[in-house]
Structure 1
């Protein structure tokens, strides 16, 4: 099914939540609540900064400055208005509801309101208010200063009649009255081959799909003056044919999905959702690392279970809950068969605004049955590596950083930080890089694309220059991530060439005789040896000679090893010759094929894996010896 078909199907599943705001509105504020609401047919959102209190006779009883975002009735024309003046049916900017600002626009507003207000007392009160009073003058009377710059300030009306709720923005009766009016005014053309009603095609399309670029439209056909479709179509009606109801359902559903399930990076939105109602709940975020699927994810699932309203039903209908099983699978890579029993068809889509007015679909993938879980699981298995996470916690009012060791795949954010050459996450270059990397990783995970060599090479180049880091601990974390990425690359290559016997693992392979892997092992042995001597001398957090020379070692391993060995001489004397270290070096040297050790050409990224595996194996061996000695004593 196409993207639009899946969006229409999803709308039918979640339409019960139409117009409702989440329970967390009180915590997050009105603006966030309105953004996450499913917009009803014939409605849009409007940021307002003025609230006008009106009585039953249309007299203004108060004006207050209060910023929020509300759901408002709209027409096709007003929903996508740009330069041409088109009023909204009820709530609008000050220039439309104050005749002192723009008599022409106010007249258009009143004519439209008169057509649909009927005998509703609240709408009649608003009509009288705008017809007979100036909001600007009333604001001054109530101590609210307005200038010429406030022409575009949104205005919300509250009408107090008896004990009824005065907030018109949440009045269901008024929303239903407007929707009924729109449906009566639609021109029905007949029925299609499936028996569905056909209406006159719309020529105006909604915006605000992605809030970070509110003017960008997913659908548009107004470029005839620029000859966009010249030679193919003679009119925009031939280029794009969508009826109003379908257009609004498509855009409203996508907007709801972006704000509830999407990951935003600038103008880019990555959205994943289920296209039919699953039995369980929150969706797995493909951008997360293995460590991210922990108790915090389970708490989201538990919170969802506590809700039993239309909004939670809509969230459940578009999500999949594999929290406990998936967490266990990613921690120990077991139970994959259990995981596959809880899946549904999934859609992955990436949206990006190419310009301020155009929103494009840069990636779309529909995954049937167990494909979604299978591909995420395959990613986490292939990219699994022993990683370190720094988890912050507050203990007795003080912030502490806990170091957690685990085996799994890094998150997209970890990969971006490892490969990006800038640490300023607020910079435009970082955000641009992050957008590009996320899109390419999604294509790699779900689209079958090869892991981007540009990311792999960037990560390798960065981590082989440890002296460029301010913090050695951050470097080691990035080094682990780089190993994870290159391991996945080598696995993909062996799988493509059907050489499963050569698959690289995350643990030390004592018999692997690859030159670059062996040179990585030698560097790790030198690093661990010098670090152990320094530790006994009480020296901490000083980079070893192996780390200092890593960049040179990568470029010219044979000659740099000679230099490094000379610099280890004082440490060998301190360790009484370091016989155990020499023996381990000899064992590795014996694995080199003839001529490989003397070959001084640059090392491939395979040396990263050899270094990491050997370093962990040596540290583990040292810990075992230490524990054995302690037990004997």
Structure 2
């Protein structure tokens, strides 16, 4: 199935949510009916069913999203004068607008003439008639002035310096509430025009009754009214970029291939409405934003699925746990509890999936303010999607830390996509790592684009990302906060681990957080030596010395380039610290160093060539192993 068909199906299967305003945090969103759009209103006017003014007030800041009917042209209005059918700004609605502001009054004439046609049709609604009766009195602006909603200047004209909720007064958008005197009717229908489904249905039928010529929709193959003006506001309410546009009649981008735009592309009006409305709804409901790139995924059977872009701990915590015990116990290096919950969560998701469902991913970005491009499009069987999510977190599995609220937690798995971008391309800011530069934030979108194939299709990790992570992890002195460098180090370990497993020349190597005491790889062993040297010096620090940088970290960059030569310097520098240790602890570290030396081949130890990223795995695994050791060296010795 194509992405167009998936969006139409998404619209149809969620038809029960049409017109229902929901919230994602504090952000409202709605699945729009056909021929409707959303606006941000500033003024609410209340009238009765006979068109008599009752009240006016500024819109509640938490209830600004307003559903309004639109025409084909008004929905794409920018600088034109095409009026909306029912609700609009003051220039269109107020018959007395010219008394308070210099204007030709044409906008109001167009609006009231258009509204009259709807009122006189068989698809008129009582709320539409009430609004028409009120606006025909030409008292809207004077009523708003009396209620002190609109402020005038000394010349008794609308004051351009004043605004309503950040919008210039002359451009304030007005919506209506119609109070009914019939108590039974009040219980059946809502007074707010923007929430009344019966009003929306009346307008939909009214538009359909006025459709004349029909043509072939290139997307569905159905005969329906064709539209060449398509919706905007796709990624957010302020998004002016369009996904489908054919108004380039001067530059003729289709010249040489087609005579007219009709030959190039034709989309049915309702088909376009359903596609765009479904897309707007699902993006606001569960889309993820990477700077200007909006990526959205959904499951065709409306199942809740693990998010592709978050870390392992987040997938685990978001799963709706039940009382069932896991079918089998999963053992993982590092943090076994987190790993077990992660696999249990994936099994739980998998139990709900059938053979007919699919996961769809769409990504949209704008190269220019007016044109939106679909830059990513993927469809996977839901079971395959779950398997690939599992492989991604397994192949990158390492020990990571993060803040959750005010608590620092440790988890086994992989960090999220935004974390990867911030660690690889961010700088230290407010105690963490972030991409602060406005131009640099484009890297969020770039990282997401390049990691999507790795996560969704299991392709190799970009090798330049691996190299960048290794280079940054090898320079701890560039970070003021040790915790920030440790985030870089653990990400580098994850990427190196996946890279060495995926590349054919590596013969699918498997590396784990658990220390491999029998590994004889030169890079791994040199990393272990560096970790031991770092630990020896750190063990001698007092509480006031914790911020000091050890010799191991100070020489780490040089060590990664010339290990044999640099190790001699580090080894000499740790001797005074070794002498500060107690006899039992000193003996423990001396034995550990000797054990590592014995694993080296003589030639490989003396080889001074550059280390590859594997030395970071050896460094972190050894450091993590020492961190977990009991602090009493006597107990360690007895265990041995």
**Does the pair score TM above 0.5?**
yes
Q: 1:378 aligns with which of 377, 391, 415?
A: 391
Distance 1:200 1:547 in 2: 69
Distance 2:216 2:471 in 1: 62
Q: Which residue of 2 aligns with 1:106?
A: 108
Contact 1:420–1:458, Cα closer than 8 Å, also in 2: no
Deviation of residue 332 (structure 1)? 6.3
Q: How does 1:203-602 map to 2 (within 5 A)?
A: 203-211=228-236, 213-277=238-302, 281-298=303-320, 331=341, 333=343, 340-343=350-353, 344-392=357-405, 401-424=406-429, 425=434, 426-493=436-503, 496-497=504-505, 499-500=507-508, 502-534=509-541, 539-575=545-581, 578-602=586-610
1:161 matches 2:180: yes
Say if 1:38 and 1:447 are closer, same or farther in 2 by CA, change over 3 A: same
Distance 1:503 1:60 in 2: 75
Contact 2:292–2:442, Cα closer than 8 Å, also in 1: no
Contact 2:51–2:130, Cα closer than 8 Å, also in 1: yes
Deviation of residue 383 (structure 1)? 0.5
Indicate the SS of the match to 2:277: helix
Distance 1:184 1:626 in 2: 90
Indicate the SS of the match to 1:226: coil
Deviation of residue 477 (structure 1)? 2.7
Deviation of residue 285 (structure 1)? 0.8
Indicate the SS of the match to 1:595: helix
Distance 2:178 2:199 in 1: 12
Contact 1:45–1:69, Cα closer than 8 Å, also in 2: yes
Contact 2:305–2:349, Cα closer than 8 Å, also in 1: no
Q: Which residue of 2 aligns with 1:91?
A: 87
Calculate the TM-score normalised by the size of structure 2.
0.84
Contact 1:59–1:133, Cα closer than 8 Å, also in 2: no
Q: 1:605 aligns with which of 613, 616, 622?
A: 613
Q: Deviations over 1:478-503 (max 9, x none)?
A: 2112211211111111xx34824x33
Deviation of residue 242 (structure 1)? 0.7
Indicate the SS of the match to 1:410: coil
Distance 2:388 2:135 in 1: 58
Q: Deviations over 1:483-524 (max 9, x none)?
A: 11211111111xx34824x33333222233322222111101
| CA-atom RMSD in angstroms | 3.1
Say if 1:594 and 1:193 are closer, same or farther in 2 by CA, change over 3 A: closer
Distance 1:508 1:186 in 2: 72
Deviation of residue 390 (structure 1)? 3.0
Unaligned runs of 5+ in 2: 152-157, 161-167, 324-328, 331-336
Distance 1:423 1:194 in 2: 48
Deviation of residue 540 (structure 1)? 3.1
Contact 2:561–2:611, Cα closer than 8 Å, also in 1: yes
Say if 1:340 and 1:297 are closer, same or farther in 2 by CA, change over 3 A: closer
Q: Which residue of 2 aligns with 1:152?
A: 171
Say if 1:115 and 1:439 are closer, same or farther in 2 by CA, change over 3 A: same
Say if 1:203 and 1:367 are closer, same or farther in 2 by CA, change over 3 A: same
Q: Which residue of 2 aligns with 1:7?
A: 7
1:136 matches 2:149: no
Indicate the SS of the match to 1:428: coil
Distance 2:177 2:139 in 1: 16
Contact 1:212–1:267, Cα closer than 8 Å, also in 2: no
Say if 1:330 and 1:445 are closer, same or farther in 2 by CA, change over 3 A: farther
Indicate the SS of the match to 1:287: coil
Deviation of residue 628 (structure 1)? 6.3
Distance 1:629 1:490 in 2: 35
Distance 1:383 1:341 in 2: 25
Q: 2:118 aligns with which of 116, 119, 127?
A: 116
Indicate the SS of the match to 1:361: strand
Q: Deviations over 1:438-470 (max 9, x none)?
A: 221112211444312332233222222112212
Q: Deviations over 1:525-552 (max 9, x none)?
A: 11112222336x8843432211122122
Q: Deviations over 1:14-59 (max 9, x none)?
A: 112100123x59x83xxx33xx210001100011101122234434
Unaligned runs of 5+ in 1: 303-323, 393-400
Say if 1:544 and 1:258 are closer, same or farther in 2 by CA, change over 3 A: same
Calculate the TM-score normalised by the size of structure 1.
0.85
Deviation of residue 334 (structure 1)? 6.5
Deviation of residue 188 (structure 1)? 6.1
Q: Deviations over 1:372-410 (max 9, x none)?
A: 101111001000012223333xxxxxxxx4333331111
Contact 2:361–2:377, Cα closer than 8 Å, also in 1: yes
Distance 1:557 1:384 in 2: 27
Q: Deviations over 1:284-314 (max 9, x none)?
A: 1111111113445438x99xxxxxxxxxxxx
